[in-house]
Amino acid sequence: MRYRVIQWATGNIGTRSLRAVIEHPDMDLVGLWVSNPDKVGRDASELAGTAPCGVIATNSVDALVATEADCVLYMRQGTDIGELCRLLASGKNVVTTRGDFHHPRSMDPDVRAQIEAACAAGGTSIYSTGSSPGFVTEALVLPLLSLSRRLDCLTIDEYADMTSRNSPDLLFNVMGYGVSPGQFDQRKVDYVKHDFAGSLAQVADAIGIEIDSWDAFGELSAARNRVEIAAGVIEAGTVAAQRITISGMKDGKPRLRFRANWYCATDIEDTDWNLRESGWRVQVEGDTPLDVNITFPVAPEDYAAFTPGLTGHRAVNAVAAVCEAAPGIRTTVDLPQVVAAL
């Protein structure tokens, strides 16, 4: 089959997704929504860096709702529920990198009702996915756990080495590196918890573990020595690493756990963090213990161009499965395996 696809937004991930759709052997790009007025009226290929395709970028929701399409790749900043409902009710399935739909049962009841009504009206489905959360918290761990009959704890560590990222405003002003350690910004913790607790809750439901609570906290660790990174300098005694932990607790013990380890130096005061190169480590404790390590063999100068594909490509590859799925809010558990058509 061929699928008519609308790309919704062109940030780092959306631009990579756009290019993947244009070049996909089984997809036709039929629409492109952009938020930046400077991009309106430009050929999609100009934004994606491909040969001309004749699809012109627009910021008109009405025009794209009226466009015949099988699926929308929804990757805008922020989730507009009214917008999504219009797309779903118009007969367009949605694959989104927004993390709002990993666990339907824990969604706001009113929002869930609106989305499900729109899916019913349009005979469509919606699916949240990406690399993390998504692939590493669901698609990878589900087959790993298929080897087990007893799970004591699942721990997913994500490592992000930010030393080569030349974004001073992001690192120093937004993320808070290079300052004296203080109270961790609770807003960051809540943001990470929203997406990852939902994703891990989906896994908990699938394997039959009733989680008592989802705990979340952040930690900061200071550099032991002065370090120069692409974005500037981090002095000794200032924040060089951050860790956010999301834990599904059962009987006072963590059963499913995700830790985001972000760092600008590995020589930090908290040596027990065991920081590694960028990638993931998945540990299964139980009657079939596993320790799986994934790294990204990419040169530092190519890293910024590589990472958007981790999230964008999985969303593109999920289009076929979502278009063929039953109407409603779909999850990794109830969808067939996402297979890339290369």
Over the stretch 44-75, which tens digit does the pLDDT of each residue have?
999 999 989 999 999 999 999 999 999 999 99
Nearest to 209 by CA among 145, 267, 295, 263: 145
pLDDT digits (tens, 9 = 90+) for 229-252: 999 999 999 999 999 999 999 999
Termini Cα distance of the chain: 14
Do 6 and 21 contact (CB within 8 A), yes or no?
no
Q: How many residues belong to the chain? A: 342
Q: 50: how many CB neighbours lie within 10 A of its CB?
A: 16
Supply the DSSP string of 126-187, one letter for each residue: EEE--BTTBIIIIITHHHHHTT-S-EEEEEEEEEEE-TT---HIIIIIIS-TTS------HH
Q: What is the pLDDT of residue 304?
A: 86
The pair phi, psi for residue 247, each rounded to 5°, is: -130, 130
Asked if residue 72 lies in contact with residue 89, where contact means CB atoms within 8 angstroms, the answer is no
The pLDDT of residue 245: 98
Output the DSSP codes for 231-299: TEEE-TTSEEEEEEEEEEEETTEEEEEEEEEEES-S-BS-GGG---SSEEEEEEEESS-EEEEEE----
3-state DSSP assignment of residue 56: strand
Among 299, 303, 288, 340, smallest CA distance to 135 is for 340
pLDDT of residue 122: 98
Which residues make up the CATH 3.40.50.720 domain(s) of the chain? Answer: 3-129+318-330
Q: What is the pLDDT of residue 57?
A: 98
Query: What integer pLDDT is reported at residue 303 of this predicted model?
Result: 87
Closest CA to 115 of 105, 125, 106: 125
- Output the pTM of the full model: 0.95
If you search the block for the tokens 């390590």, which residue do you land on? 293
Instruction: Specify the pLDDT at position 301.
Output: 84
User: Quick one: pLDDT at residue 243?
Assistant: 98
Cβ contacts of residue 252 below 8 Å, gap of 6+? none
CATH of 3-129+318-330, one of 2.60.15.10, 3.40.50.720, 3.30.1510.10, 3.40.50.2020: 3.40.50.720
Q: What is the DSSP letter of 64?
A: H
Residues of the chain below pLDDT 70: none
pLDDT of residue 148: 97
